[in-house]
Amino acid sequence: MAGLKNVLLVEDEPMIRDLYRIALADSGYTVEVADNADEAFTKLGKFQPDCIFLDVMLPGTSGLEILTELRSNPAHGCMDAKIVILTNLAQRSVADNAMEHGADGYVIKADIFPRDLPKVIKSLEEE
């Protein structure tokens, strides 16, 4: 899937969300942001992302629950979108669980600079 241009960023931490949004927008991506599941699903009614960065730890509905819904319900239009899990939990079980539920990859937030997010998207385009 070459040309991933529209990105939905679901992250509840305002500082991280802003840093990631700016880094992606500065690299030419069209970015929409959400800080919880309800906002993410509302955005999906108007915005069709090619790539979704989805935090695991969100208030209310977890990122893994959102991932499962996006992969199982075609009404959201995300069956073919690339979904990358964002986590600070360096636990292999979290990553394995996300991959089992349909994630295309994961990023440990403590191990990545915001400027590296476009590289993550480029790697997904090459798959």
What Å distances lie between residue 48 and 43, 45, 59, CA to CA?
Answer: 8, 8, 23
pLDDT confidence of residue 32: 98
pTM: 0.93
121 inside domain: no
Structural domain count of the chain: 1
pLDDT confidence of residue 113: 95
Question: What CATH number has the domain bearing residue 23?
Answer: 3.40.50.2300
pLDDT band at 1 (very low <50, low <70, confident <90, very high): very low
Give the 3-state secondary structure of residue 44: helix
Average pLDDT value for residue range 110-118? 94
Q: pLDDT for 15-51, tens place per residue?
A: 999 999 999 999 999 999 999 999 999 999 999 999 9
Query: What's the domain range around 35?
Result: 6-112
